Amino acid sequence: MKKKLLWLLLAFASIAQAAAPDTSQSALPLLQPLPQETQAAHLSAEFLTQKHYKAAPLDEAMSEKIFDRYLKSLDPERMFFLQADIDQISSAKTKLGDAITNEDLNIPFLIFNLYEQRFTEQFTYARSLLKQNFDFTVKEGFQAERDKAAWPKSEDEMHDLWRKRVKNDWLRLKLAGKDQKSIFSTLDKRYENYLVHTRQLKSEDVFQYFMDAYAQSTDPHTDYLGPRASEDFNITMHLSLIGIGAVLEQRDEYTTIRELVAGGPAALSGKLKVGDRIVGVAQGEHGKVVDILGWRLDDAVAIIRGASDSTVTLDIIPADATPDGKHKEISLVRKKINLEQAAAKDTIIEVKEGDTVRHIGIITLPIFYQDTDARMKGDQDYRSTTRDVSRLLTQLKKDKVDSVLIDLRNNGGGFLDEAINLTGLFINQGPVVQQRYANGKVKVESDTEGKPVWDGPLGVLINRGSASASEIFAAAIQDYGRGLIIGEQSFGKGTVQTIVDLDQYSHADKPKFGELKMTIAQFFRINGGTTQLRGVTPDINFPSTSNAEDFGESSFDNALPWSQINAANYTVEGDLTGVIPMLQIRHDMRVKNDKEFQYLEEDIAQVKAERKKNLVSLNEADRRKERDVQEARIKAHEKLTESGKSASEKLAAAKTEALRDDGLQANERNLTVQLAAEKAAKDAKDILLNEAAHILSDEVDLLKTDTRLAARVLPGSVATQSTK
């Protein structure tokens, strides 16, 4: 077996050497696996082949899956590898399992080195194309999505593909009114930045790509988290970090301040502002300044973060200074930063129907979070989803809202315990979710708190991006008959993951092996069904913006099938079957006459049609005609909704439309303009949220006018039934 691997390594080395032109070899040092990475791969394999919910041997079949997924992660649009490359590296297709078992990852690294070389060649070629004149009168098109296309068979075919890509980039900027000099400068810098980025790749990046391919070949939601990815994951789930309280982004070679977190050291200092560029970092007030100009963003962030109450000194070029302008040094003491943008938030929407005004309390929940570190330390005020939502509900009750809507759109999940506890805020005690493990054992997870915090009318708004813990909560609310589910069919993720600390398992003295986020169980609704593949089906559907073939559990080729177990023992708290048809009728009548809702449906239909067509015209006259049609629709929409808008709302809409397609990437725009556009988009009218509020207002109206119906719908009524 080792002889076969050695032969493959020699073959790959010759391929890489033959592929590399002399001008680029020195600029692209070959990346090689580190000892801790080969060990981490072996440790991961022990868990994935023995402890995973659907444990699979690391055999030739699994090797082929890893190989295919690895290539897809590197070249998803098939714009770098030639078919000849694929034919030659396919000799390793069944050998990747041996590479992991034998702790010899040279083959996947050689594949990556070949990819990196091809990447450099194609973007170097793209830059050379900028010097030619494009003929925009030719009738030709560019395939927008190439994930199912064939690999280019020749260098000429590859060059033609890139000619069309560059031509499309150029045409977008031209249609946006940019002149030739500006277009050349923008695209040349863009392509150069891609080349700079690939030269900054490290061994850990290659290892992350490869281990993701292995982990996700077992199931879509198993992931490998390297030490840095693990840190970022924990920050997201805990909603806190230790740092200076600044959101940073990469703009060319500068680490730039994009946002100051309220209450953080950076904001409280009053010495930093959005747009400032950090070019040096020192530890302590008098430490040696390390030049970070040109650093990768994650490396810059790592050196700026540090221990709580420690000092960091930043070398700053102010936002309003030229690159060679006067610097200033600012010392800050790092503190714990709460990431409030991902925390639960509330607002109240007024719904007017004739002389009646209903108040609908909205709680927006981006993720199911919990500060487990603070909880383990005994902090009585630790942050969690349930605690924050309970506080918001108490306030909404004081505000005398008529109904509550939990907005879970694009909430991808989080802590399972929080989904269970959150459900307990709206039901009397009882089961919330069932978990089935690999050995077939089923465990019922229940809420035991008793009295709900909110027992009034309730709605849950979901979309295709609502997954995992969001689906557990929405399914439980639906099964109990406790509230209306409104929106799109949810993601369809019905599996449970746990975090395996590989360092702890191997007794490492410091973090070096990372973690596995590994599937250990499948969850089921209390009615016995599962959200796996099918998701949660809303009681009232909204138009879907997603394509099930591209997004959602059903888009994965190795997703677990839908299945069913016995129902848990629970008592239904409300019966919505009588109210849903009436709400559906009112909803249909309202949106039929709502021009904004109709425009939304037209926009969705147009996006789906473009996606299905999958061809972008490179003819300037055709593209201008398409743009004119689109602008006419926008103007008609603006004219329809203009009356009653404030000046600030009109300005926000104008800024949003101005950036609708300017041909630029986000980091190529003026930062102030970019942030204004993002704020305008965020503050724009949320048509679907407003309609969901109207539906809940309709429900309140029906329940107030029909006491018998109200007795069936609201908790604590006599119209309940037992399900076993």
* Active site residue ranges: 468, 479, 493
- As a three-state string, the secondary structure of 282-311 is EECCCCCCEECCCCCHHHHHHHHCCCCCCE
- Taking alpha carbons only, the member of 568, 563, 498 closest to residue 533 is 563
Instruction: Enumerate residues 6+ apart whose C-beta is below 8 A from 347.
Output: 361, 362, 364
For residue 661, the tally of other CB atoms under 10 A from its CB is: 12
Q: What is the DSSP string of 518-586?
A: EEEEEEE-TTS---TTT-PPPSEE----S-TTTSSGGG-TTPPPP---PPP-EEE----TTTHHHHHHH
Residues 590, 141: Cα–Cα separation, whole Å: 41
- Taking alpha carbons only, the member of 264, 275, 280, 274 closest to residue 333 is 264
Rg over alpha carbons for the chain, rounded to the nearest Å, is 28
Q: What is the separation, in whole angstroms, between the first and last Cα of the chain?
A: 56
> Across the chain, which distance is largest between two alpha carbons, in Å?
84
For the record, the structure tokens of 187 come out as 């695209």
Helix (H, G, I), strand (E, B) or coil at 321: coil
φ/ψ region of 71 (left if φ > 0, alpha if ψ in -120 to 50, else beta) reads alpha
Q: Residue with structure tokens 């150069």?
A: 192
Q: What are phi and psi of 435, to 5 degrees?
A: -120, 130
